[in-house]
Every structure is written in structure tokens, then in C-alpha cells.
Amino acid sequence: MKPVKASGEQIFKRASGILLHPTSLPGKYGIGDIGPMAEMWIGWLQKAGCHLWQVLPLCPTGFGDSPYQGFSAFAGNPLLISPDRLIEDGLLMTEDLTSQPQFPNGNVDFQKANSNKKELFFLAAKRFEDQKDDHLRKAYRRFCREERRWLQDYALFMALKNEHNGRPWTEWDADLANRKPAALEQAVHTLAEEIEAYKIIQFLFFKQWTSLRNVAKKAGVIIIGDIPIFVAHDSADVWANPELFWLDDEGMPTVVAGVPPDYFSPTGQRWGNPLYRWDVMRGNGYGWWKQRFKAVLKIVDVVRLDHFRGFEGYWEIPAEYPTAEVGRWVPGPGADFFEALMRTFGSLPIIAEDLGVITPEVKLLRDTFKLPGMKVLQFAFGKDATHPFLPHNYIRRCVAYAGTHDNDTTRGWYETAPESERDFCRRYLRCDGSDISWDMIRAAWSSVAVWAIAPLQDLLSLGSEARMNLPGSMEGNWSWRVSEEKLSDELAARMRETNQIYGR
């Protein structure tokens, strides 16, 4: 492979930022959203001198409330819609919100938040259909035209899922699961009102997100989004495009995604996502993937491409096996895929999530397209001075992280790490460990890495109780929230001084 013209380099200038998913924002509706508190958050980033805001996938969450198991790779998460903004639009009334349930402090009760908001948003959708604002209705019709490639399938999928009591699409009536035209036509007619409501709710999400993104642009804040390499089996994507995946005649995956056994997991990780028919995708010019990138780049400035190594080669597990111990490495689409993207988009504003077992071939693919990789400081202290995640080994074209959403918080990591790692960490950072979160932040910020990012939990020096996700566990993930008083001027000033000292 010959090196290509640098992709997206104009946006990669020395800067810093914070990883915080919108669900973790403060607010009164049981879950963070993209309304007034999100605008306050952008203002706080500006005060802190941070120019980057990294979020997790913004899709409607499915199994385990995970943003990496969404019902659609194109749709927005309705739970992020702000009721306050709907009041401003006249689609909700103040009295609609007077009997809010009691929500827990500090974390999300997804079931309670979803039940509450779903009722509110279907009410708002009904009022939208009845209201006379021609400007809003024109905007909605334009949205439906522009997003027609996924919107109708998504709305029909959600309406049918509701009709089947939330069961996976493979358990629906066979004609619907197999998308027989007559069955789909009948469903569109029978469920027309609900389908329209789901489409309106999507319009309201993207209307609010576009407004928030404009606020970020005015504040000089770049939004980093996230594209999971794989999609959920129980999704509109797989149901509407079965020919793009390795499925049997009943729609079940014949092979699934994961990673093989390693030092951390003796049985590997069986994620269970269906694998792509890359031969079919290559034959149609990667049309579905181009649509996906186009959709994501409409709402964010830069994309973290999850499991980047899977584009060079991925672990294929026969679906009948319960663990990832049995499997094989299969070549991914490689350079052909990224060249096709560049022909369409001109540049690739991508961060390659190149964690795990990375081969020379994966590094070559990353470097050929001049994509910055990731360096996670928590992984740096288990070896010696040659470890690539130690700051003195960084190159400029990388993003330094204190930790990610899949790691423990820095304090939590330090408190549970082997003493040998803790000792190496203290000696390397020249610290006593009493302020380890900020010691790690300073190490990342002082490095040559073009971008440095830390989870908000680390700025707050929180322990394992604030962890966002524990891979392999099914409960208690994604629910951490920050309280408004924690986003203090004092914390912003400390972050701003750190940015000034290290030229970020």
C-alpha cells in the first residue's frame, strides 16, 4: 500500500477535551439530554479551555441499554430529546411534566426514564401532527426526504417491534421477518399512526441535536462521535438489509463477532453481532457504509472508529459456540474500503481505535491513511520503558487518553492495580499516588499527542463507583451521571490552567 494524502489533518491541531456521553449530564428527567444542561456543558468546556467533546454512539439503545447495541446505526436516541425544548416548541405543556416520577440521584434508571419519556414524546408527536406551524412542517417533510433511505425502515421496525411486545425480529410473523411485500404493505397501513410518530420523534431528535451542535461550533468545540464497527442483530439495519450479513434462512447469524482468548480473558469475548458479507458490500461500492459515514458526519466533526483492527482482519466465531475459543481470523476489506470512503468524502476525519492485539498489518493500514491511533495511559505500566502507551514513546499523530469508557476510572484502576504497576506508575510520573487522576491527566496533556482526552470522572477524581462500562457484564453499565454542582468554576479553572501550561 502506498501512503495517501493525509486525511482530515486540518482538524487535528493540538487540543484537549473531555469524554462524557449526554446521558451522563445533569437534569431533572432521570437521564441527561441535549437540552439546556448540554448547552451549559459546552459553556463549561469553553471556560475550561477544552476544544473537544467526545461522546459515545448516539443511537437508540437496545440490549443492556448499550449504545454499542442500537436498534439502528442511523437513528438518534429518543431518550436524549429534551422535554424543555419541546415546551419551547409548543409540543409539550408545563402541566404535562408536573407528575414526574422520582428518579435516582447519580445514575440512570433506564427503564423508568424510557417509560416516562416515551409517553411524553408520543404526546409531542401527536401535537406535532395537529399543529399549524408551516415552517416546522416543511422542515419535517425535508427531513423525511433527506433521510428516506433509513427512516421508513427504522420507524416500521420500531412499530413492529412494539406490536410484537419487544421480541427480536426473528420471532415475528415469518412474512414480516422475511419482509414479504404484501405483509409489509399491510403493516404500513395498520401501523401508520405509530410509524408517523416514530418518524416525528426522530425529526425532533435531529432538530435538537443540530441546534446543540451549532452552539458547540460557536464555542469552538469539536464533537467527536463514535461508529461501532458492528451492528446489533436485533436492529433495523440487519432486518432491512439481510443480504449484507451472514445469516441463515431464518435470519439467524451463522457466524458472529468477537475476539479470541488472551491474557485478560481465557475464553475470549463473544460479542454476538452478525458479521458482514464484505464480498457483497464491496460489490456495491460499500454503499451502506458510505450512507452510515454520511449520517454520522452530519452530526459530529470527527469519528472514533471502533475496533479498527477488524477492517484489516476480524475473529469469526461459529454462531453455535458459546465462547470465542473456537474461531478463525478472516481478512477484512482493508485499504479498498478506506480508499472508497476517500473517493466519496475526500478526507477521513477518523480516530482509529487500535487497542488490543495489533499486528504490523493493522498498523500499516492505519498509517497508510494517516489516521491517529489511541494511547491509553492505564495500559502503560504493565511492562517496561518500551511500552508504546508510555508518553515518551508517543508520536504526534495519536490521541492520548487517561482512560476510556471501557476502563475503570483512573482512581479505580490505581486502587486495584498490581503493586508492581502502581510502583512503576508512581516512579514514572514522579508522584506519590495521592492525586493519581490529575497526575495521569498531566502526563497525557504534556505529551506530544495531538489530542489529549480524559473522562469527566477523572477530572472529578472519582473511584470505581463512577465507572461507565465493564465489558462482559450485563448489568449496571452506562448509568453514571454527574451532578450540576460538580461542574464548578474551580474545576474549570484547574483544567484551563492545565491546558495553558501544556499548550492545548
Q: Which of 89, 196, 406, 415 is catalytic?
A: 406
Q: What is the 3-state secondary structure (H, E, C) of 450-498?
A: CEEEEEHHHHCCCCHHHCCCCCCCCCCCCCECCCHHHCCHHHHHHHHHH
Q: Is 353 an annotated catalytic residue?
A: yes
CA distances from 384 to 2, 17, 392, 427, 448 (A): 33, 28, 12, 12, 20
- Residues 295, 303: Cα–Cα separation, whole Å: 11
- 259 phi/psi in degrees, rounded to 5: -135, 150
Place of cell 456543558: 41
Please name the amino acid found at residue 349: P
Three-class secondary structure of residue 50 per DSSP: coil
Query: DSSP readout, 312-370?
Result: TEEEEEETT-SSSSS-EEEE--THHHHHHHHHHHSS--EEE---SS--HHHHHHHHHTT
Q: Which of 147, 237, 301, 306 is catalytic?
A: 306
452-479: string of b/e by CB count within 10 Å (b at 16+)? bbbbbbbbbebbeebbbbeeeeeeebbb
Q: Is 419 an annotated catalytic residue?
A: no
Query: Which triple of cell numbers denotes residue 192?
Result: 401508520
Q: Is 406 an annotated catalytic residue?
A: yes
- Residues 14, 52: Cα–Cα separation, whole Å: 11
Q: Which of 301, 353, 408, 439 is catalytic?
A: 353
Place of cell 482509529: 352
Maximum alpha-carbon separation in the chain: 70
Query: Facing residues of 15 across strands?
Result: 451
Give catalytic residue positions. Answer: 306, 353, 406
